[in-house]
Chains A and B, each alone.
Chain A
Amino acid sequence: MSITETFFNWGVLTSSFPLLLSGLRVTLLLGLVSIIAGLILGLLISLIRIYSIRPARIVAKIYIDVFRSIPILVLLIVVYYALPFVGFRLSPFMSAAFALTLVSGAYTAEIFRAGIEAIPRGQFEASQALGLSYRHMMMDIILPQAIRIVIPPLTNNCVNVVKDTALASVVAMPDLLKQATQAQALEANPTPLIFAALMYVALLWPLITLVGRLEKKYRRETAR
């Protein structure tokens, strides 16, 4: 068999394509859910980490450090296989979304913290001196400035979350990687795997380029 027939077999690809597409859909959905939930969680934790009372700040710090140290695969297996022993049984999708959100929330919290702390103290003081409430100070002054700073690292985090969705295949979630291995076994040909790899790249390459472009843009603006 030639290389082309082995790795880029058109017949295998067309017959397994529907399976790959359904896998891609699951991967995208899982990525999207985890990214959004992780953003909300991360924002909350970063605000606790910076502004709340000391004990809560310490808890937030511990949360951030623990979930940045734990390998996602380990966390995923704990969520899926260990939690049922205490009566907490989640579907493969929910387990994966849960694990990815916990970890993404920790990274996002650090990113937001760095973004908020990069805002000069004078911005807070000017807001307070004008009589703005805490909520308006954050919504109108601090967060809009912090968001410009955090968009490149946040986009980077999104790339990581989407990559990490592939780990969900170990808990039998029918994501892109799982469907590709399935198809490969079915057809006895690795073409589906090759195409799955290409799909990941096609999905994430634009995001990676975007990060680079945003970083350049904001660096230019701050230098202005």
Chain B
Amino acid sequence: MTALVSIRRLRKNFDRFTALDGIDLEIDEGEVVCIIGPSGSGKSTLIRCINLLETFDDPGEILVGNIPVKRGKQLASVRAEVGMVFQSFNLFPHLTIRENIKLAPKRVRKVGDKEADEKAMQLLNRVGIGAQADKYPDQLSGGQQQRVAIARALAMEPKILLFDEPTSSLDPEMVGEVLDVMRQLAHSGVTMIVVTHEMGFARQVADRVVFMNEGKIVESGRPENIFDSPKENRTREFLNAVLTR
């Protein structure tokens, strides 16, 4: 079986600074991969390369469902298959919640208005915000906004969902509701790559945990192996630091 996402020899330089230093990673369909690591280790840069929000250096390559990720005609179809949830939500503030969700299916997938609407309401109910459909994003709490952002990404029926620290800008009391939605998604078989500092979530939900440091993957494996018996010193240090905090 070929992987859904293949990342090979991925390198990324910002001017002279090396943000990604040779990443190889394969993600299978239905897999939930959590990426952990210290701030500045390249986690965001890595997942932003998957939908080319960040360009990467030449010999490296990324395939999504066998389509190479690069500028050109097929980029739109890659992006349509790759959903993304951002730390800062990035909902469209001038559109209602309902319109936020309907827009991309209508414009990109050419779905009719009625169908898009039914789909939007179904997704909003699934993430528990059906009652807020006609409000604007700034009338919702952070936790609600992030759940809308997840619904918006799901509306494109992507093959894979990327999360970049989805709970990091939330008030503590709202983290749980977003993680609950993500946990449900993981159990329903959605392929997910999640950059997170929520170690409890990673241990509980991930099929695989990837630890990054200084632009490299230091080690990866089953969560119980990474969290309970890490092989590398650097991993142990990081886990000690975050788990005793």
Contacts and interface: CB of A to CB of B under 8 A. Distances in A.
Interface of A: 120, 122-123, 125-126, 128-133, 136, 140-141, 144-145, 148, 224
Interface in B44-101: 51, 53, 76-77, 79-80, 82-84, 86, 88-94
Interface of B: 51, 53, 76-77, 79-80, 82-84, 86, 88-94, 103-104, 107-108, 138, 152-153, 156
Contact of A126 (B77, B90, B107): B90
A29 B108 CA distance: 41
A7 to B, nearest CB: 50
B92 A141 contact: yes
Given A129-B53, A131-B108, A131-B156, A123 B79 contact: no
10 cross-chain pairs, A with B, having the tightest CB-CB distances, nearest first: A122-B90, A126-B90, A131-B80, A131-B79, A130-B104, A129-B84, A131-B108, A136-B107, A144-B94, A131-B76
A145 B136 CA distance: 14
A128 B80 CA distance: 9
Given A125-B53, A125-B86, A224-B138, A132 B108 contact: yes
For the complex, would chain A's binding face be called helix, strand, loop or mixed by DSSP majority? helix
Contacts of A130: 79-80, 83, 103-104, 108, 152-153, 156
A122 to B, nearest CB: 4
B216 to A, nearest CB: 25
Nearest to A148: B94
Contacts of B108: 130-133, 136
B79 A129 contact: yes
A42 to B, nearest CB: 21
Nearest to B54: A125
A145 B107 contact: no
A128 B103 CA distance: 13
Which interface residue of A130, A132, A136 has the most chain B CB atoms within 10 A? Answer: A130
Nearest to A224: B138
A145 B94 contact: yes
Contacts of B91: 126
Nearest to B87: A122
Nearest to A141: B92
Contacts of B79: 128-131
Contacts of B104: 130-132
A134 to B, nearest CB: 10
